Amino acid sequence: MKGGVTLPLWLVSPLVLQALYYPTIVGLFVLKPTWALPILFSKWFFQVLFIRGVAQRVGEKVSPFYLWAYEIYSSFLSTTMIIYYLWPAPIRWKGRKL
């Protein structure tokens, strides 16, 4: 993550928006659930269109179950990455402290 911070702003901005999407949606569900549902559905719809388009180009079929499972996986991964990045504990990787 530290290397990603040194990237140009035009490259970091979409990554930051993606990382903040799920925490923002959770907050929006609390404040304005009628706004959160269409936004969540729209994001999922365009994501499905993209994944199906890519799968079609490579000659694969994607199960609707996997499309929903990917959304759950993506939300879990994004949220845990934010928490892990902000966590004040030291990181140990291959016996080294980072």
Q: How far is CA 49 from CA 15, 37, 53, 57, 62, in A?
A: 20, 18, 6, 12, 11
Going by C-alpha positions, the residue among 74, 66, 70, 67 that lies closest to residue 25 is 74
Find tokens 């009628």 and name the residue. 34
Residue 3 identity = G
> How confident is the model over 32-79, as pLDDT tens digits?
999 999 999 999 999 999 999 999 999 999 998 999 899 889 888 888
Q: Give the mean pLDDT of 81-96.
A: 78
* Owning domain of residue 76: 2-97
Selected residue with higher pLDDT from 88 and 34: 34
Number of domains in the chain: 1
CA distance 84 to 20: 14
Structure tokens at 78: 């994004």
